[in-house]
């Protein structure tokens, strides 16, 4: 069975324009990992498009063959560069990993 990794983030910025720019930056940096990190089987990102109170700002859905593939993604240098940016702009994170 494959493993699906789903993460959502809330940006730290209060200003809506800055928040949107940071969310787009997170999404584009994550999307750029496709073809760079070998263990990624599929990856999609999305920036929240509806101004609904309580919605988070950006999400990632990524599939891996197994937990080892996810582990390899987590420690990959390109992913670690993205993590550094993400940590600089987010105020909250939520994640779940499940078999598909």
pLDDT digits (tens, 9 = 90+) for 61-86: 999 999 999 999 999 999 999 999 99
CB 58 within 8 A of CB 26: yes
Report residue 34 as tokens. 């496709």
Distance CA(79)–CA(15), nearest Å, equals 27
Strand partners, 4: 63, 98
Note the CATH number of domain 3-99: 3.30.70.100
Q: What is the pLDDT of residues 21-67, one digit of tens each?
A: 999 999 999 999 999 999 999 999 999 999 888 999 999 999 999 99
In the numeric block, the tokens 């969310």 are attached to 23
Give how far Cα 31 sits from Cα of 24, 54, 74, Å. 10, 24, 15
């Amino acid at each position: 069975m494959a493993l699906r990794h789903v993460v959502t983030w809330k940006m730290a910025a209060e200003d809506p324009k800055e928040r949107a720019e940071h969310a787009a930056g997170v999404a584009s940096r994550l999307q750029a990992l496709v073809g760079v990190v070998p263990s990624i089987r599929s990856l999609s990102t999305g920036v929240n498009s509806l101004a609904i109170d309580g919605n988070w700002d950006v999400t990632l859905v990524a599939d891996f063959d197994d937990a080892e593939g996810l582990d390899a993604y987590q420690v990959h240098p390109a992913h670690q560069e993205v993590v550094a940016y993400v940590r600089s702009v987010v105020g909250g994170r939520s994640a779940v990993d499940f078999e598909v």
